[in-house]
């Protein structure tokens, strides 16, 4: 519970600072970049989560890595997190920042699990269908999980749409275990 409050407090402060400077779009792009980096780079994940690396060294690395890549506000935010030893919560803070952006834009995030990478046509169709269902603009967050064998699982708020092959096969297995359907007549 404490981590959620911390993430909320820091993400709100970042959003307010970006709004004051009228650079929300730039910071939003930086947030997306950093979230992707945290997801794809084990080294970056180790850097932000290792409590044995000093805050001063982390700040130096942030300066070297990001001074030409992110807005000065974001760079200052990263170094402040290192100073306060809150960088381990970076991903939660950035996720919360995206939630604030979604709320401001009346947008909702759909968490989608697919067996393989979705093509642009599939993404667009899924966004359209989920947007119609929810009445809001939908932003997809896609995870790949080959164990679902095919199809996808989409979670939109509290609603789950499970169109995975694994679930369909499980349903067929249960139906076959119950025996034949009664004849219609």
Residue whose pair of structure tokens reads 């393989």 in the numeric block? 116
pTM of the model: 0.69
Contact 27, 74 (CB under 8 A): yes
pLDDT band at 23 (very low <50, low <70, confident <90, very high): very high
What are the Cα distances from residue 97, in Å, to 46, 70, 139?
22, 16, 14
* Percent of the chain whose pLDDT exceeds 90: 56
Cα separation of the two ends of the chain: 58
Instruction: Give me the phi and psi of 166, to 5 degrees please.
Output: -55, -45
What are the tens digits of pLDDT across the range 44-61? 999 999 999 999 999 999
Whether the per-residue pLDDT at 185 is higher than 60: the answer is no
What are the tens digits of pLDDT across the range 99-117? 999 888 888 888 999 988 8
**Residue 61 has what pLDDT?**
95
Nearest to 142, CA basis, from 126, 157, 121, 163? 126
Please report the domains of the chain, with CATH numbers, ordered by start residue. 2-102 (1.10.520.20), 106-178 (3.40.30)
What are the tens digits of pLDDT across the range 137-157? 888 888 899 888 888 899 988
């Amino acid at each position: 519970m404490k981590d959620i409050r911390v993430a909320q407090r820091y993400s709100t402060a970042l959003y307010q600072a970006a709004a004051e400077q009228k650079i929300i779009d730039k910071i939003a792009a930086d947030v997306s970049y950093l979230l992707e980096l945290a997801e794809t780079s084990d080294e970056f994940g180790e850097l932000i989560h290792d409590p044995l690396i000093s805050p001063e060294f982390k700040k130096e690395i942030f300066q070297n890595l990001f001074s030409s890549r992110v807005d000065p506000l974001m760079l200052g935010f990263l170094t402040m997190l290192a100073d306060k030893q809150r960088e381990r919560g970076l991903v939660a803070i950035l996720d919360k920042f995206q939630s604030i952006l979604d709320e401001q834009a009346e947008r909702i995030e759909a968490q989608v699990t697919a067996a393989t990478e979705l093509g642009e046509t599939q993404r667009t169709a899924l966004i359209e269908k989920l947007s119609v269902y929810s009445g809001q603009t939908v932003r997809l967050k896609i995870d790949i999980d080959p164990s679902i064998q095919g199809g996808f699982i989409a979670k939109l708020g509290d609603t789950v749409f499970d169109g995975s092959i694994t679930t369909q096969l499980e349903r067929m297995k249960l139906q076959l275990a119950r025996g034949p359907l009664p004849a219609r007549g």
